[in-house]
A = this chain, B = another copy of it.
Amino acid sequence: MATSTVENYLKHVLLLSEGGDDLVSMGALATAMEVVPGTATTMVKAIAGEGLVEHQPRYGVKLTAKGRRLALNVLRKHRLIETFLVNVLKMDWSKVHEEAEQLEHAISDEVLDRLDALLGHPTTDPHGDPIPNRQGRLNSQVYATLATCALDIPLRVVRVTEQSAEFLQFVEQNGLLPGAGIRVADRNLTAGLVKLKKTGGRTPIVSVAAAGKILVEPGK
């Protein structure tokens, strides 16, 4: 059985290769894992020896089919646990990521299935992140962000792609939770600011950097 360290490496390789399926660099992986680059190299060589990743020395790393299966199972656990903590235990959506980071390695597949049923087989977690299904199918739809979408058309927030508690609290304070209706009133790239208009009247202003982490779809 893979240790929780190995599970974390695999999960981060998966997350870092979302979208483009090219190689993940050692530097990016080391940063994500919060270790020095040499440690990442050592571990990648070790898990490559177990057939979980393919290592192109000096260029990067990618998951094998076996590694991907494992990584998707960990990600499914993570996101279902987050959903449970918010929907059933009513925890703050800004704090569940840290919890799930631990629990994802402790929970069995049987408990996972029962949680999934209890929650009604959800397809996204509280942050709008898609939950891989039992078969390991991950719905990786590409969305526009508040930094790139067209101005003045009705939108709906579908996902927030950052897990830090501070950022999530900021998002909540400005009423930009997944599901919120919104439109972009103005965008000033030189000033780095995006002016929003909520259905209901509020007009929050966020930085372009923050706007790029809020994914939207055309909405009622």
Q: Chain A: residues with CB nearer than 8 A to chain B?
A: 85, 88-91, 95, 99, 102-103, 105-108, 110-111, 114-115, 118
Contacts A88-B118, A114-B89, A115-B89 given: A106-B108 contact, CB under 8 Å? no
- Complex-state Cα separation, A91 to B117, whole angstroms: 13
Q: Quick one: closest B residue to A90, CB to CB?
A: B114
Q: Which residues of B contact A106 (CB under 8 A)?
A: 102-103, 105-107
Contacts A89-B118, A118-B88, A118-B89 given: A107-B111 contact, CB under 8 Å? no
- Shortest C-beta distance, A42 to chain B (Å), equals 22
- Complex-state Cα separation, A111 to B98, whole angstroms: 12
- Shortest C-beta distance, A135 to chain B (Å), equals 22
Q: Quick one: closest B residue to A102, CB to CB?
A: B106
The one of B91, B110, B111, B118 in contact with A111, judged by C-beta atoms closer than 8 angstroms, is B91
- Shortest C-beta distance, A111 to chain B (Å), equals 6
Q: Are B99 and A103 in contact (CB under 8 A)?
A: no
The 9 closest A-B pairs by CB, nearest first: A106-B106, A102-B106, A89-B114, A103-B106, A99-B108, A99-B111, A89-B111, A89-B118, A91-B114
11 contacts between A and B (CB under 8 A): A85-B111, A88-B118, A89-B114, A89-B118, A91-B110, A91-B111, A102-B107, A103-B103, A103-B107, A106-B106, A106-B107
